[in-house]
Amino acid sequence: MTRTILCLARHGETNWNIERRFQGQFDIALNARGRAQAEALARELKDAHFDRVYSSDLRRAMNTAAPIAEARGLSVLATQRLREKDDGAWQGHTHAEVQVKYAGDYPHYLARTPNFAAPEGETLEEFSRRVRTVLTDIARESAGLTVLVVAHAGVLDIAWRLATGRALSEKREHPVLNATPNWVAFEDGRWSLVNWAQPEGRPEIAAPWDGLTLPRREAARALIVNQKNEALLMQYAGGLSPHFLALGRQHFWATPGGALREDESFEAAVKRELREETGLILDGDPGPVVATREFPMELGDDWQQAVERYFLIRTEEFAPSPESLTPEEKVHTLGWRWWSAEAIEASDELIFPEALAALLRKATS
């Protein structure tokens, strides 16, 4: 019978992996370590023959697959069917946050209850059927070939279960490592395990911040939303990492805000930054905190541990009139625009924070 070989690889690391944040089907980019992992995977597989390269259409997977496909003159065949499990309302939250907010449901996640789904999400059974169907379709369409599939931890978990016959609720023996090859075979309608990567003996892929004691940079951000549920974003230049500059990016869009001054609270900082960057003056409390972030951030040539809080500011639509900007800030503040969630998703501009469209929808629902 015809035997098809699939090499399965999870995408490289993201900042949301570091934060232990549910990514699900949100389109989160690789971080610096993740990009290095993608390059290392391409080197590891440099002598492997692939007839086709498939990938989840989310950019953390696409950018992991791209170097391998390009080296062989192949196109990446992207599909939504290889996306991570849809974790619904949990996406964007850390495990710690979900454990508190959904205390009655989180144990079902830990126990891998097959028919459990996060609110608005997929059950493990539904996800398993989706992955089984797409991997089987790929294997049959590529009969007799060797294929690379780059996807997500959940997708590889289901593939491992297909190849080993393990039940959805059983504990997996080994972790799903970032950007690491795992091999399975499909023959005569059946899956089998060829080799599953184990962490022992594998080289660690360094990140630029490894071994450093990163200075803590606390910052307050304002998610300013008008009556049409559009967010005010400012266009900035300067402060971009060498990675983005190398890609030809010269500016970016972001929510207003900035670093706390010495002995300043997050609440005081967001009110000050609003006044300086937009001219908006707030009395009283600035509003609820709708998101928190903590991750290594590159500022110029330096790395810092970013600690950010995002405050929801409801207001009428207005034209920003920045006050008290320094000459340098005036040079780097290029403009502003009100953005809908749909416009954010459709744009190919550089927009921060990641998954802003989803945050905007959640904050205004």
Residue 11 a catalytic site member: yes
- Residue 182 in marked binding region: no
* Number of alpha carbons in the 13 Å side-chain half-sphere of residue 319: 0
Report the alpha-carbon distance of residue 124 to residue 102 in Å, rounded: 17
Cα angle 15, 16, 17; round to 5? 90
CB neighbour list of residue 334: distance below 8 Å, 6 or more residues apart:
235, 236, 237, 251
- Residue 275 in marked binding region: no
CB neighbour list of residue 182: distance below 8 Å, 6 or more residues apart:
7, 8, 9, 156, 159, 160, 176, 195, 196, 197
Residue 84 a catalytic site member: yes
Tell me if 293 sits within 8 A of 359, measured CB to CB: no
- Residue 104 in marked binding region: no
Catalytic residue among 44, 84, 122, 349: 84
- Residue 279 in marked binding region: no
Tell me if 63 sits within 8 A of 151, measured CB to CB: no
- Residue 15 in marked binding region: yes
CB neighbour list of residue 24: distance below 8 Å, 6 or more residues apart:
84, 85, 86, 87, 88, 90, 91, 121
Report the alpha-carbon distance of residue 64 to residue 67 in Å, rounded: 7
- Residue 338 in marked binding region: no
Catalytic residue among 11, 93, 122, 152: 11
- Residue 10 in marked binding region: yes
Q: What amino acid positions are annotated as catalytic residues?
A: 11, 84
Question: Which residue positions form the known binding site for substrate?
Answer: 10-17, 60
